Amino acid sequence: MESSRKNNRYLEAGKIVGTHGVRGEVKLKPSCDSAEFLLPIDTLYLNGQAIAPVSKRVHKGMLLLLLPGFDSVEKAMRLINSVLYFDRNDVSLPEGVYFCCDLIGLSVYDLRLQRTIGKISEVLDRPASSVYVVRDGDAEYMIPAAGDFIQSVDLDGGVITVKTIPGMVGDE
């Protein structure tokens, strides 16, 4: 299976949901785990065009951005509902951390059952940890993205290996 990394170079950073103050700052609601994740990224993409924020800071879970050419509230208001993207090559993830879009579609192999139990269809963000939604036909399983369950992730091979507990995948 070809890694989806090759197909998704630009990933959604978030959506502009409003303005902040009178200087033209916009509020970006992050599409990722946190606004802090986006702070080191120097170039964002708006409508396919590279744009380097003049300033950026985190405020109440939002990323506040001052974008060049949008130096008033009136100009900034035109950006509301726009989606900003970032280039995945501008980010270096720690080992064992993956972009959700790279996990969607991976086959899930269960070491305990010694068989494939489905494919990841969705990644849910929960307070304790993310949860992988695994579908196999009409069956749906929830696997916590925690070290006790996740044994390995092979993006290039297209498989994630898990070790479930009895009752987790409806096998009993």
Is residue 64 over pLDDT 70?
Answer: yes
Average pLDDT over residues 10-26: 95
Instruction: Identify the three-state secondary structure at position 91.
Output: coil
Is CATH 3.30.460.80 correct for 7-88? Answer: no
Residue 7 pLDDT greater than 70, yes or no: no
Task: Tell me which DSSP letter residue 106 carries.
Answer: -
Q: What is the dihedral of CA 71, 74, 78, 84, to 10 degrees?
A: 30
pLDDT at 1: 37
- CATH class, 100-162 region: mainly beta
Instruction: Report DSSP letters for 124-149, one per residue.
Output: E--SS--EEEEEETTEEEEEE-STTT
The residue-averaged pLDDT of 59-77 equals 95
- The average pLDDT across 103-125 equals 95
What per-residue confidence (pLDDT) applies to 170? 76
> How much is the average pLDDT of 113-132?
91
Domain ranges for the chain, please list them.
7-88, 100-162
Q: Rounded to 5 degrees, what angle do the CA atoms 95, 99, 103 make?
A: 100
Q: Is the pLDDT of residue 54 over 50?
A: yes
pLDDT band at 171 (very low <50, low <70, confident <90, very high): low
